[in-house]
Amino acid sequence: MKVDVFKIAQSGPDDLSGLMDLIVQQRLDPKTIVAVMGKTEGNGCVNDFTRGFAVATLKGYLQKLIGDALTSQIVFVMSGGTEGVLSPHLTVFTRQTEGLAGPTQPGLALGVAHTRNFAMDEIGTLTMVQVVAEGVKGAIAAAGLTPAAVHFVQIKCPLITAARHTEAAVTPDSYKSMAYSRGASALGVAVALGEVQLDRLTNADICHNYGLYSAVASTSAGVELQNCEILVLGNAPNTHSHYQIGHSVMAHALDVAAVSRAIASAGGQDSAPIVNIFAKAEADPSGQILGHRHTMLDDSDINHTRMARAVVGAAIASVVQDPMIYVSGGSEHQGPPGGGPIAVILSDRS
């Protein structure tokens, strides 16, 4: 397998000029695209339609180039919210498995999966955990990885809207449903990787027992889909890739030492060329950070997920001196309370 990773700046959710340039220059073959992750400049909440706008624009463009069948297999993960210094961008992943020659080396491998659509009363429940876990296992197998070699699992998951709400749903609140969907999806990753035992889980644990979490899961909820789209990233021993991935866990929103730990996990030094960083952000549910009170959870004007993205985004960007990083808000069961997983992709090209 050969995986390539392209980080592309955007002037807006519908700006594909950077992607088009790469394709015209024949640096990127659109038929090899398997996943696209993006940061869009909406509010990241239920009514953030910049995510769907970005996906629709990408699909419309790619369908004309590679057809409906190949486009439908691509995982699209758009995370809304570029508060503070975060800069809107796309990260495009390509994968080749044929026509490869020459020596192999340890490097980045990936797998993708799409679950079935979820009924509204399944979102945020144990059923969702089970379905996601099977999807993650399938993506790991497609990548040719073992669970121990997995460094990052990104999932885009659905939410419950007022129009689609049923009495059996886990919550009638659309915004709270985002947390339940993220949490159940993250626990699905934890089950697939053996971090949490399924037979010890109950519906009551979801978004309540935060002692249960995955160290590599990153989940993002949106109104633009009804299933889960899964991207698994890890390192395999024999690849043609020129990238390595590593991860760590931020213990709190200001734990910038996690950047160096993630780089070391990828086998690099702090000076290694970074392609992109992926992190989760959360306002600590205890109401404190490093022993002092924070007010993110008490602000009625600005949602706490937006504040958390701004804080973590600025903290990481200040370390790597690059605001074009992927920071997603809401880390239910994704790392410890108040913290979250962080992954870094390094290139062996100077």
- Dihedral sign computed on CA atoms, order 76, 80, 83, 87: positive
> Are the C-beta atoms of residues 252 and 284 closer than 8 Å to each other?
yes
Taking CA atoms, 323 is separated from 14, 303, 327, in Å, by 20, 21, 10
The verdict on whether 220 is a catalytic residue reads yes
- Dihedral sign computed on CA atoms, order 323, 329, 334, 337: positive
Choice among 7, 156, 181, 185 that is catalytic: 156
Count of all residues that appear for the chain in the document: 350
Query: Pick from 92, 14, 83: which is nearest to 51 by CA?
Result: 14
Choice among 177, 220, 248, 331 that is catalytic: 220
The verdict on whether 280 is a catalytic residue reads no
Helix ranges (DSSP H) in the chain? 17-24, 50-73, 126-143, 174-192, 257-265, 304-320
CA 304 – CA 330 distance, rounded (Å): 9
> Are the C-beta atoms of residues 208 and 332 closer than 8 Å to each other?
no
CA 336 – CA 128 distance, rounded (Å): 21
String of DSSP letters for 200-261 = G--GGGTTT-TT--BSSEEEEE-TT-SS-EEEEEEEEEEE--SEEEEEEEESSTT-THHHHH
SS3 per-residue string spanning 96-111: ECCCCCCCCEEEEEEE
CA 123 – CA 127 distance, rounded (Å): 8
Active site residues: 156, 220
